[in-house]
Amino acid sequence: MDQLEQEVDLLEYLRVLARRKWLILALVLTSALTAYVVSAGMTEIYQATATIMVRTDSAVGTMPFMEEMMGTSGNDIRNYMEFLKSRTIVESVLTRLGWYTPVSPEDVALWQKSLSVQQVQGTNVAKLSVESDNAERSAAFLNALIEVFREHSQKMNQESARAAREFVAQQLSISEQALRKAEDALLQYKKSSMVVEPTEETKAQIDKIAEIEKELAAAQVELNAAMAERQEIERNLRSADPTLVTSTTLVNNPLVQQYKIRLSDLETELAGARERYTDNHPAVISLKAQIAHVKAKLAQEVENVVGSQTSSLNPIYQALRTQLVENESRIVGLEAKQAALRGMLLDAEAKLAAIPEKEMDVARLMREQRVDEEIYVMLRTKYEEMRITEAMKVSDVYVIDSAVVPEKPIKPRKLLNTAIAAFLGLFVAVGVAFLMEYVDTSFKTQEEVERLLELPVLGVVPDMRRFRRKHPKGEPLGGGEPAAS
Protein backbone atom coordinates (compact mmCIF):
# COMPACT_ATOMS: atom_id res chain seq x y z
CA MET A 1 0.00 0.00 0.00
CA ASP A 2 2.83 2.39 0.92
CA GLN A 3 4.60 1.66 -2.34
CA LEU A 4 1.39 2.38 -4.26
CA GLU A 5 1.00 5.72 -2.48
CA GLN A 6 4.61 6.63 -3.27
CA GLU A 7 4.01 5.83 -6.96
CA VAL A 8 0.86 7.95 -6.92
CA ASP A 9 2.75 10.87 -5.31
CA LEU A 10 5.55 10.61 -7.84
CA LEU A 11 3.06 10.59 -10.71
CA GLU A 12 1.38 13.65 -9.21
CA TYR A 13 4.73 15.48 -9.08
CA LEU A 14 5.36 14.61 -12.70
CA ARG A 15 1.87 15.85 -13.64
CA VAL A 16 2.64 19.16 -11.89
CA LEU A 17 5.86 19.54 -13.85
CA ALA A 18 4.07 18.62 -17.08
CA ARG A 19 1.38 21.24 -16.50
CA ARG A 20 4.05 23.94 -15.89
CA LYS A 21 6.48 22.77 -18.56
CA TRP A 22 6.34 25.99 -20.56
CA LEU A 23 7.03 28.07 -17.46
CA ILE A 24 10.01 25.86 -16.55
CA LEU A 25 11.37 25.98 -20.09
CA ALA A 26 11.00 29.76 -20.23
CA LEU A 27 12.88 30.30 -16.96
CA VAL A 28 15.70 27.94 -17.97
CA LEU A 29 16.15 29.60 -21.34
CA THR A 30 15.97 33.06 -19.80
CA SER A 31 18.66 32.18 -17.22
CA ALA A 32 20.95 30.63 -19.82
CA LEU A 33 20.52 33.50 -22.28
CA THR A 34 21.10 36.12 -19.58
CA ALA A 35 24.29 34.37 -18.40
CA TYR A 36 25.60 34.13 -21.95
CA VAL A 37 24.90 37.80 -22.70
CA VAL A 38 26.48 38.96 -19.42
CA SER A 39 29.55 36.70 -19.97
CA ALA A 40 29.95 37.98 -23.52
CA GLY A 41 29.98 41.55 -22.24
CA MET A 42 32.61 40.91 -19.55
CA THR A 43 36.25 41.94 -20.00
CA GLU A 44 38.40 39.06 -21.25
CA ILE A 45 41.14 38.05 -18.82
CA TYR A 46 44.35 36.35 -19.98
CA GLN A 47 46.72 34.31 -17.81
CA ALA A 48 50.45 33.92 -18.44
CA THR A 49 52.39 31.20 -16.60
CA ALA A 50 56.06 30.44 -15.94
CA THR A 51 58.04 27.89 -13.94
CA ILE A 52 61.22 28.52 -11.95
CA MET A 53 63.45 26.47 -9.68
CA VAL A 54 65.09 27.87 -6.55
CA ARG A 55 68.27 26.02 -5.68
CA THR A 56 69.34 26.11 -2.05
CA ASP A 57 72.73 24.51 -2.81
CA SER A 58 74.11 27.13 -5.17
CA ALA A 59 77.80 27.82 -5.59
CA VAL A 60 77.70 30.52 -2.92
CA GLY A 61 76.38 28.10 -0.35
CA THR A 62 78.78 25.31 -1.26
CA MET A 63 82.00 27.32 -0.85
CA PRO A 64 83.67 25.96 2.30
CA PHE A 65 84.13 29.31 4.01
CA MET A 66 80.62 30.48 3.06
CA GLU A 67 79.22 27.55 5.03
CA GLU A 68 81.17 28.73 8.06
CA MET A 69 80.25 32.38 7.58
CA MET A 70 76.58 31.90 6.72
CA GLY A 71 75.60 28.64 8.41
CA THR A 72 74.71 25.33 6.81
CA SER A 73 70.97 25.81 6.24
CA GLY A 74 69.74 26.69 2.76
CA ASN A 75 67.21 29.33 1.87
CA ASP A 76 63.62 28.24 2.22
CA ILE A 77 61.67 28.45 -1.01
CA ARG A 78 58.69 29.80 0.93
CA ASN A 79 60.70 32.91 1.74
CA TYR A 80 61.52 33.32 -1.95
CA MET A 81 57.80 33.04 -2.78
CA GLU A 82 56.98 35.81 -0.34
CA PHE A 83 59.83 37.91 -1.73
CA LEU A 84 58.53 37.40 -5.28
CA LYS A 85 55.18 38.99 -4.35
CA SER A 86 56.73 41.82 -2.35
CA ARG A 87 56.09 45.46 -3.10
CA THR A 88 59.80 46.08 -3.79
CA ILE A 89 60.00 43.50 -6.59
CA VAL A 90 56.69 44.42 -8.23
CA GLU A 91 57.51 48.13 -8.15
CA SER A 92 60.92 47.46 -9.73
CA VAL A 93 59.25 45.43 -12.50
CA LEU A 94 56.71 48.16 -13.33
CA THR A 95 59.45 50.79 -13.30
CA ARG A 96 61.55 48.75 -15.72
CA LEU A 97 58.60 48.14 -18.06
CA GLY A 98 57.67 51.84 -18.00
CA TRP A 99 53.92 51.27 -18.13
CA TYR A 100 53.18 53.85 -15.44
CA THR A 101 54.81 57.23 -14.88
CA PRO A 102 55.23 57.37 -11.99
CA VAL A 103 54.34 53.99 -10.46
CA SER A 104 51.60 54.51 -7.86
CA PRO A 105 50.86 52.25 -4.85
CA GLU A 106 47.50 51.41 -6.47
CA ASP A 107 49.25 50.08 -9.59
CA VAL A 108 51.59 47.96 -7.48
CA ALA A 109 48.70 46.59 -5.39
CA LEU A 110 46.73 45.72 -8.54
CA TRP A 111 49.55 43.62 -10.01
CA GLN A 112 50.32 42.05 -6.63
CA LYS A 113 46.70 40.90 -6.44
CA SER A 114 46.84 39.40 -9.93
CA LEU A 115 50.12 37.55 -9.22
CA SER A 116 50.05 33.97 -7.93
CA VAL A 117 53.03 31.88 -6.78
CA GLN A 118 52.59 28.21 -5.88
CA GLN A 119 55.23 25.70 -4.81
CA VAL A 120 55.15 22.24 -6.39
CA GLN A 121 54.76 19.90 -3.43
CA GLY A 122 57.99 18.23 -2.35
CA THR A 123 60.23 20.18 -4.76
CA ASN A 124 62.06 23.49 -5.06
CA VAL A 125 60.01 24.33 -8.14
CA ALA A 126 57.48 27.17 -8.14
CA LYS A 127 54.79 27.95 -10.70
CA LEU A 128 54.11 31.63 -11.32
CA SER A 129 50.99 33.03 -12.98
CA VAL A 130 49.60 36.50 -13.56
CA GLU A 131 46.21 37.60 -14.89
CA SER A 132 45.59 40.69 -17.03
CA ASP A 133 43.14 41.99 -19.61
CA ASN A 134 46.10 42.34 -22.00
CA ALA A 135 47.73 39.10 -23.17
CA GLU A 136 51.04 40.73 -24.16
CA ARG A 137 51.34 42.60 -20.87
CA SER A 138 50.72 39.49 -18.77
CA ALA A 139 53.63 37.64 -20.41
CA ALA A 140 55.90 40.69 -20.38
CA PHE A 141 55.23 41.35 -16.69
CA LEU A 142 55.96 37.75 -15.68
CA ASN A 143 59.23 37.53 -17.63
CA ALA A 144 60.36 40.91 -16.24
CA LEU A 145 59.43 39.75 -12.73
CA ILE A 146 61.64 36.67 -13.03
CA GLU A 147 64.53 38.73 -14.42
CA VAL A 148 64.30 41.32 -11.62
CA PHE A 149 64.08 38.53 -9.06
CA ARG A 150 67.18 36.84 -10.48
CA GLU A 151 69.07 40.14 -10.28
CA HIS A 152 68.05 40.62 -6.65
CA SER A 153 69.19 37.07 -5.86
CA GLN A 154 72.55 37.73 -7.53
CA LYS A 155 72.92 40.99 -5.64
CA MET A 156 72.22 39.36 -2.28
CA ASN A 157 74.71 36.57 -2.97
CA GLN A 158 77.36 39.05 -4.10
CA GLU A 159 76.82 41.20 -1.03
CA SER A 160 77.25 38.17 1.23
CA ALA A 161 80.43 37.16 -0.59
CA ARG A 162 81.74 40.74 -0.52
CA ALA A 163 81.18 41.07 3.22
CA ALA A 164 82.99 37.78 3.80
CA ARG A 165 85.86 38.78 1.51
CA GLU A 166 86.34 42.15 3.21
CA PHE A 167 86.36 40.50 6.62
CA VAL A 168 88.94 37.90 5.50
CA ALA A 169 91.05 40.63 3.89
CA GLN A 170 91.30 42.47 7.22
CA GLN A 171 92.32 39.30 9.01
CA LEU A 172 94.78 38.45 6.23
CA SER A 173 96.57 41.78 6.57
CA ILE A 174 96.93 41.30 10.32
CA SER A 175 98.14 37.72 9.86
CA GLU A 176 100.74 38.75 7.26
CA GLN A 177 102.26 41.30 9.60
CA ALA A 178 102.34 38.78 12.46
CA LEU A 179 104.04 36.19 10.22
CA ARG A 180 106.78 38.61 9.20
CA LYS A 181 107.48 39.54 12.81
CA ALA A 182 107.65 35.86 13.79
CA GLU A 183 110.03 35.03 10.96
CA ASP A 184 112.32 37.99 11.80
CA ALA A 185 112.34 37.11 15.50
CA LEU A 186 113.25 33.47 14.80
CA LEU A 187 116.02 34.46 12.42
CA GLN A 188 117.56 36.96 14.86
CA TYR A 189 117.49 34.50 17.75
CA LYS A 190 119.14 31.74 15.73
CA LYS A 191 121.93 34.13 14.75
CA SER A 192 122.50 35.37 18.29
CA SER A 193 122.22 32.07 20.22
CA MET A 194 123.89 29.80 17.62
CA VAL A 195 121.04 27.29 18.02
CA VAL A 196 119.77 26.11 14.65
CA GLU A 197 117.39 23.19 15.16
CA PRO A 198 115.64 21.71 18.25
CA THR A 199 115.46 17.96 18.94
CA GLU A 200 112.85 15.67 17.35
CA GLU A 201 110.89 15.49 20.60
CA THR A 202 110.76 19.28 20.73
CA LYS A 203 109.70 19.43 17.09
CA ALA A 204 106.86 16.99 17.76
CA GLN A 205 105.68 19.07 20.70
CA ILE A 206 105.97 22.23 18.58
CA ASP A 207 103.87 20.63 15.82
CA LYS A 208 101.21 19.65 18.33
CA ILE A 209 101.04 23.13 19.82
CA ALA A 210 101.05 24.69 16.36
CA GLU A 211 98.12 22.52 15.29
CA ILE A 212 96.16 23.41 18.42
CA GLU A 213 96.81 27.11 17.98
CA LYS A 214 95.86 26.87 14.31
CA GLU A 215 92.52 25.34 15.26
CA LEU A 216 92.13 27.94 17.99
CA ALA A 217 92.79 30.77 15.56
CA ALA A 218 90.41 29.32 12.97
CA ALA A 219 87.74 29.02 15.64
CA GLN A 220 88.31 32.65 16.61
CA VAL A 221 87.93 33.77 12.98
CA GLU A 222 84.69 31.82 12.68
CA LEU A 223 83.49 33.23 16.00
CA ASN A 224 84.15 36.81 14.90
CA ALA A 225 82.35 36.19 11.60
CA ALA A 226 79.40 34.60 13.40
CA MET A 227 79.11 37.56 15.77
CA ALA A 228 79.17 39.99 12.84
CA GLU A 229 76.48 37.93 11.14
CA ARG A 230 74.39 37.94 14.31
CA GLN A 231 74.47 41.75 14.40
CA GLU A 232 73.23 41.87 10.80
CA ILE A 233 70.42 39.37 11.49
CA GLU A 234 69.33 41.26 14.60
CA ARG A 235 69.24 44.50 12.60
CA ASN A 236 66.99 42.86 9.98
CA LEU A 237 64.79 41.37 12.71
CA ARG A 238 64.15 44.80 14.19
CA SER A 239 62.78 46.04 10.85
CA ALA A 240 60.66 42.92 10.08
CA ASP A 241 57.02 42.42 11.08
CA PRO A 242 57.04 39.40 13.42
CA THR A 243 53.47 38.13 13.04
CA LEU A 244 50.63 37.61 10.63
CA VAL A 245 46.91 37.80 11.48
CA THR A 246 46.25 34.07 11.72
CA SER A 247 46.10 31.57 14.54
CA THR A 248 48.72 28.94 15.32
CA THR A 249 49.19 25.91 17.53
CA LEU A 250 52.13 24.12 19.06
CA VAL A 251 51.88 21.36 16.46
CA ASN A 252 52.24 23.53 13.38
CA ASN A 253 54.30 26.38 14.84
CA PRO A 254 57.09 26.82 12.25
CA LEU A 255 59.73 28.03 14.69
CA VAL A 256 59.18 25.06 17.01
CA GLN A 257 59.57 22.75 14.02
CA GLN A 258 62.81 24.50 13.01
CA TYR A 259 64.20 24.02 16.52
CA LYS A 260 63.29 20.33 16.44
CA ILE A 261 64.93 19.83 13.05
CA ARG A 262 68.08 21.65 14.20
CA LEU A 263 68.18 19.57 17.40
CA SER A 264 67.81 16.33 15.43
CA ASP A 265 70.64 17.29 13.08
CA LEU A 266 72.97 18.18 15.96
CA GLU A 267 72.23 14.92 17.78
CA THR A 268 72.99 12.98 14.61
CA GLU A 269 76.31 14.82 14.24
CA LEU A 270 77.10 14.13 17.90
CA ALA A 271 76.47 10.40 17.47
CA GLY A 272 78.85 10.33 14.51
CA ALA A 273 81.50 12.36 16.37
CA ARG A 274 81.41 10.01 19.36
CA GLU A 275 82.26 7.10 17.10
CA ARG A 276 85.51 8.86 16.12
CA TYR A 277 86.48 10.89 19.20
CA THR A 278 86.30 10.76 22.98
CA ASP A 279 83.95 12.96 25.03
CA ASN A 280 86.84 15.35 25.78
CA HIS A 281 87.50 16.12 22.12
CA PRO A 282 86.74 19.76 21.10
CA ALA A 283 84.33 18.67 18.36
CA VAL A 284 82.24 16.63 20.80
CA ILE A 285 82.28 19.41 23.40
CA SER A 286 81.20 21.93 20.77
CA LEU A 287 78.28 19.77 19.63
CA LYS A 288 77.14 19.19 23.22
CA ALA A 289 77.12 22.92 23.88
CA GLN A 290 75.08 23.58 20.72
CA ILE A 291 72.55 20.89 21.66
CA ALA A 292 72.10 22.36 25.13
CA HIS A 293 71.60 25.83 23.64
CA VAL A 294 68.99 24.66 21.11
CA LYS A 295 67.12 22.68 23.78
CA ALA A 296 66.88 25.79 25.94
CA LYS A 297 65.58 27.84 23.01
CA LEU A 298 63.08 25.12 22.12
CA ALA A 299 61.71 25.01 25.68
CA GLN A 300 61.38 28.79 25.71
CA GLU A 301 59.51 28.84 22.38
CA VAL A 302 57.13 26.07 23.48
CA GLU A 303 56.35 28.07 26.61
CA ASN A 304 55.61 31.15 24.50
CA VAL A 305 53.25 29.25 22.19
CA VAL A 306 51.36 27.53 25.01
CA GLY A 307 51.20 30.66 27.16
CA SER A 308 50.06 33.55 25.05
CA GLN A 309 50.93 33.35 21.37
CA THR A 310 47.84 33.61 19.17
CA SER A 311 49.30 34.65 15.82
CA SER A 312 51.63 32.93 13.37
CA LEU A 313 55.10 34.10 12.37
CA ASN A 314 55.74 36.05 9.23
CA PRO A 315 57.72 33.67 6.89
CA ILE A 316 60.49 36.25 6.39
CA TYR A 317 60.66 36.96 10.13
CA GLN A 318 60.64 33.22 10.76
CA ALA A 319 63.60 32.70 8.41
CA LEU A 320 65.58 35.44 10.21
CA ARG A 321 64.77 33.88 13.59
CA THR A 322 65.87 30.49 12.30
CA GLN A 323 69.16 31.97 11.06
CA LEU A 324 69.62 33.68 14.42
CA VAL A 325 69.10 30.39 16.30
CA GLU A 326 71.60 28.58 14.09
CA ASN A 327 74.01 31.50 14.46
CA GLU A 328 73.72 31.52 18.26
CA SER A 329 74.13 27.76 18.52
CA ARG A 330 77.22 28.01 16.31
CA ILE A 331 78.61 30.77 18.55
CA VAL A 332 78.00 28.66 21.66
CA GLY A 333 79.67 25.68 20.01
CA LEU A 334 82.68 27.73 18.92
CA GLU A 335 83.11 29.17 22.41
CA ALA A 336 82.99 25.67 23.90
CA LYS A 337 85.46 24.48 21.28
CA GLN A 338 87.82 27.33 22.11
CA ALA A 339 87.66 26.49 25.81
CA ALA A 340 88.56 22.86 25.11
CA LEU A 341 91.43 23.87 22.79
CA ARG A 342 92.82 26.28 25.38
CA GLY A 343 92.86 23.45 27.92
CA MET A 344 94.74 21.22 25.49
CA LEU A 345 97.15 24.09 24.73
CA LEU A 346 97.97 24.60 28.41
CA ASP A 347 98.81 20.89 28.78
CA ALA A 348 101.06 20.95 25.70
CA GLU A 349 102.86 24.11 26.87
CA ALA A 350 103.41 22.58 30.29
CA LYS A 351 105.22 19.65 28.65
CA LEU A 352 107.26 22.02 26.51
CA ALA A 353 108.43 23.91 29.61
CA ALA A 354 110.66 20.96 30.58
CA ILE A 355 112.91 21.56 27.55
CA PRO A 356 116.28 23.42 28.09
CA GLU A 357 116.01 27.19 27.96
CA LYS A 358 117.73 27.97 24.64
CA GLU A 359 116.09 25.05 22.89
CA MET A 360 112.76 26.06 24.38
CA ASP A 361 113.20 29.63 23.13
CA VAL A 362 113.90 28.35 19.63
CA ALA A 363 110.94 25.99 19.91
CA ARG A 364 108.68 28.82 21.03
CA LEU A 365 109.78 31.07 18.16
CA MET A 366 109.42 28.24 15.66
CA ARG A 367 105.98 27.48 17.03
CA GLU A 368 104.86 31.08 16.65
CA GLN A 369 106.28 31.23 13.14
CA ARG A 370 104.61 27.93 12.22
CA VAL A 371 101.23 28.98 13.64
CA ASP A 372 101.31 32.36 11.91
CA GLU A 373 102.23 30.68 8.65
CA GLU A 374 99.35 28.17 8.92
CA ILE A 375 96.89 30.93 9.71
CA TYR A 376 98.16 33.07 6.84
CA VAL A 377 97.82 30.19 4.34
CA MET A 378 94.32 29.41 5.59
CA LEU A 379 93.17 33.03 5.30
CA ARG A 380 94.82 33.44 1.91
CA THR A 381 92.98 30.38 0.58
CA LYS A 382 89.66 31.57 1.89
CA TYR A 383 90.22 35.07 0.55
CA GLU A 384 90.69 33.66 -2.95
CA GLU A 385 87.53 31.59 -2.54
CA MET A 386 85.58 34.71 -1.62
CA ARG A 387 87.01 36.71 -4.48
CA ILE A 388 86.04 34.02 -7.00
CA THR A 389 82.57 33.68 -5.47
CA GLU A 390 81.97 37.42 -5.65
CA ALA A 391 82.97 37.49 -9.31
CA MET A 392 80.75 34.55 -10.25
CA LYS A 393 77.45 36.57 -9.97
CA VAL A 394 75.60 33.43 -8.95
CA SER A 395 71.81 33.44 -8.67
CA ASP A 396 69.71 30.90 -6.79
CA VAL A 397 66.89 31.24 -9.34
CA TYR A 398 66.77 29.16 -12.54
CA VAL A 399 64.12 29.55 -15.23
CA ILE A 400 62.52 26.28 -16.35
CA ASP A 401 59.72 27.70 -18.52
CA SER A 402 59.49 31.33 -19.53
CA ALA A 403 56.11 33.02 -19.94
CA VAL A 404 54.59 33.07 -23.43
CA VAL A 405 51.74 35.26 -24.68
CA PRO A 406 48.46 33.37 -23.99
CA GLU A 407 46.31 32.78 -27.07
CA LYS A 408 42.93 32.35 -25.37
CA PRO A 409 41.41 34.11 -22.36
CA ILE A 410 40.67 32.12 -19.22
CA LYS A 411 37.79 34.39 -18.24
CA PRO A 412 34.90 34.69 -18.84
CA ARG A 413 33.98 31.04 -19.52
CA LYS A 414 30.84 31.61 -21.53
CA LEU A 415 29.73 27.99 -21.99
CA LEU A 416 30.45 27.07 -18.38
CA ASN A 417 28.62 30.13 -17.06
CA THR A 418 25.69 29.41 -19.38
CA ALA A 419 25.46 25.79 -18.27
CA ILE A 420 25.60 26.73 -14.59
CA ALA A 421 22.94 29.41 -15.09
CA ALA A 422 20.67 26.96 -16.95
CA PHE A 423 21.10 24.39 -14.16
CA LEU A 424 20.30 26.94 -11.47
CA GLY A 425 17.39 28.24 -13.57
CA LEU A 426 15.99 24.72 -13.72
CA PHE A 427 16.05 24.47 -9.93
CA VAL A 428 14.36 27.84 -9.57
CA ALA A 429 11.77 26.99 -12.24
CA VAL A 430 10.87 23.70 -10.55
CA GLY A 431 10.50 25.51 -7.25
CA VAL A 432 8.29 28.17 -8.82
CA ALA A 433 6.16 25.48 -10.48
CA PHE A 434 5.52 23.72 -7.19
CA LEU A 435 4.85 27.06 -5.48
CA MET A 436 2.27 28.02 -8.11
CA GLU A 437 0.71 24.60 -7.79
CA TYR A 438 0.53 25.07 -4.03
CA VAL A 439 -1.27 28.43 -4.20
CA ASP A 440 -3.64 27.24 -6.99
CA THR A 441 -6.81 26.08 -5.14
CA SER A 442 -8.85 25.00 -8.19
CA PHE A 443 -9.83 21.35 -8.81
CA LYS A 444 -7.95 19.64 -11.59
CA THR A 445 -9.43 16.11 -11.79
CA GLN A 446 -12.57 14.14 -10.92
CA GLU A 447 -10.59 12.12 -8.38
CA GLU A 448 -9.43 15.30 -6.64
CA VAL A 449 -13.07 16.47 -6.27
CA GLU A 450 -14.21 13.17 -4.79
CA ARG A 451 -11.19 12.98 -2.44
CA LEU A 452 -11.41 16.49 -1.05
CA LEU A 453 -15.24 16.98 -0.96
CA GLU A 454 -16.08 13.32 -0.25
CA LEU A 455 -19.07 13.62 -2.65
CA PRO A 456 -19.89 11.68 -5.82
CA VAL A 457 -19.50 13.43 -9.20
CA LEU A 458 -22.79 13.65 -11.11
CA GLY A 459 -21.47 15.14 -14.31
CA VAL A 460 -18.41 16.46 -16.06
CA VAL A 461 -18.22 19.47 -18.38
CA PRO A 462 -16.15 18.43 -21.38
CA ASP A 463 -13.03 20.34 -22.42
CA MET A 464 -14.19 21.94 -25.68
CA ARG A 465 -10.64 22.85 -26.68
CA ARG A 466 -9.67 19.19 -26.83
CA PHE A 467 -12.96 18.43 -28.63
CA ARG A 468 -12.29 21.04 -31.34
CA ARG A 469 -8.75 19.70 -31.87
CA LYS A 470 -10.11 16.22 -32.44
CA HIS A 471 -13.14 17.29 -34.58
CA PRO A 472 -12.43 20.21 -36.90
CA LYS A 473 -15.29 22.09 -38.61
CA GLY A 474 -17.23 20.06 -41.20
CA GLU A 475 -16.37 16.69 -39.61
CA PRO A 476 -19.35 14.58 -38.36
CA LEU A 477 -19.80 14.35 -34.61
CA GLY A 478 -20.44 10.62 -34.50
CA GLY A 479 -18.12 8.61 -32.34
CA GLY A 480 -17.34 11.61 -30.13
CA GLU A 481 -17.00 11.51 -26.34
CA PRO A 482 -20.22 11.52 -24.28
CA ALA A 483 -21.25 14.89 -22.88
CA ALA A 484 -21.81 13.58 -19.35
CA SER A 485 -22.12 10.40 -17.35
Pairwise CA distance, residues 76 & 426, whole Å: 50
Q: What is the pLDDT of residues 169-204, one digit of tens each?
A: 888 888 888 888 887 887 777 767 655 566 666 667
pLDDT category at 241 given cuts 50, 70, 90 is low
Q: What is the mean pLDDT of residues 330-353?
A: 78
Q: What is the mean pLDDT of residues 346-371?
A: 70
Q: Which residue has the higher pLDDT, 440 or 32?
A: 32
Cα–Cα distance, 472 to 467 (Å, whole number): 8
Q: Is the pLDDT of residue 156 over 60?
A: yes
Mean pLDDT of the chain: 75
Most confident of 50-59, 176-185, 211-220, 397-406: 397-406
Q: Which of 38-42, 207-211, 285-289, 480-484 has the highest mean pLDDT?
A: 38-42
Q: Is the pLDDT of residue 420 over 90?
A: yes
CA–CA gap between residue 427 and residue 431 (Å, rounded): 6
Partnered with residue 398 across adjacent β-strands are: 53
pLDDT over 70, % of the chain: 71
Which of 246 and 392 is assigned the larger pLDDT? 392
Q: Give the pTM.
A: 0.49
Using DSSP, state whether 411 is helix, strand or coil: strand
For residue range 50-106, list pLDDT tens digits in order: 999 887 654 444 444 444 444 333 446 777 777 888 888 888 899 999 888 888 889
The 3-state DSSP class for residue 1 equals: coil
- Tell me: the pLDDT tens digits for 123-152? 888 899 999 889 999 999 999 999 988 888
Output 301 or 338, whichever has higher pLDDT.
Answer: 338
Vertex 266: Cα angle to 260 and 268 (nearest 5): 105
Q: In one letter, which amino acid is 105?
A: P
pLDDT given for residue 56 in this prediction: 60
Which pLDDT does position 344 carry in this prediction?
Answer: 81
**Residue spans per domain, the chain:** 2-42+414-448, 228-354
Q: What is the pLDDT of residue 6?
A: 52
Q: Alpha-carbon distance 157 to 219, whole Å?
A: 24
- Name, of 77-86, 244-253, 390-399, 425-434, the range with top average pLDDT: 425-434
- Cα 411 from chain centroid (whole Å): 28
What DSSP string runs through 91-160? HHHHHHHT-SSS--HHHHHHHHHHEEEEEPTTSSEEEEEEEES-HHHHHHHHHHHHHHHHHHHHHHHHHH
| Strands lying side by side in the sheet with 46-54 | 115-119, 125-132, 46-54, 397-401
In 216-302, beta strands by DSSP E: 243-244
DSSP one-letter code for 45: B
